[in-house]
A and B are shown apart, each in its own frame.
Chain A
Amino acid sequence: QSVLTQPPSASGTPGQRVTISCSGSSSNIGSNYVYWYQQLPGTAPKLLIYRNNQRPSGVPDRFSGSKSGTSASLAISGLRSEDEADYYCAAWDDSLSGIFGTGTKVTVL
């Protein structure tokens, strides 16, 4: 079972823009939608982005997603202290398995 590759960490000061990458392959990101989750310490993951770039109701428009080929990215603009969390990308694989990214810890300096 493969994984999606993310940078282990990212950081920024309040108000800055932070971008997190997610690299996969033709059998997952390349042919399926990408999803993003935010996980605050000690809590369950929360859906942040679905179908590459759609936000569920209640998710601020500071969060945006994009996809190109076999990679995707999540951008957080206007960084706030409450954005400090772990972020995971996810995609379905053509082998009928769910695949999660390795996770990125975002720190607000």
Chain B
Amino acid sequence: QVQLVQSGAEVKKPGASVKVSCKASGYTFTSYGISWVRQAPGQGLEWMGWISAYNGNTNYAQKLQGRVTMTTDTSTSTAYMELRSLRSDDTAVYYCARGTTLPFDYWGQGTLVTVSS
């Protein structure tokens, strides 16, 4: 069965970077892209962008341009999302999901990133 398993919770200081991983199994990794969605505490869902696992093409949300980088390692079927220059409003649960466009049919379990001094 399709599974996306994410790395564990992180606590970071303002200005630092965080890199979250998402290991896929149960399907051909390069046949689908991976999208990233985040959810601040008590808030709604925010689309962050996607990466094609086939050719590495990316599309980032405008508000995150310059701070986010999405990559993949096809040898391990793992996708990564790195966010730099962290601020307190980056505190959120970060989800990976299968697909470069809607619908995102399978989701990871989420990774809580807390930014606090």
Contact = CB atoms under 8 A, between A and B. Distances in A.
Question: Number of contact residues on A: which range applies?
Answer: 20 to 34
Q: Classify the interface of chain A: helix, strand, loop or mixed.
A: strand
Contacts of B80: none
Contacts of A1: 47, 61-63
Given A100-B45, A100-B46, A47 B105 contact: yes
A40 B63 CA distance: 28
Interface stretch (A9-17, A18-26, A73-81, A86-94): A86-94
Contacts of B95: 44-45
B27 interface: no
A44 B108 contact: yes
Interface in B94-113: 95, 101-105, 107-110
Interface string A47-62: 1001100001000000
Interface of A: 1, 3, 33, 35, 37, 44-47, 50-51, 56, 88, 90-92, 96-103
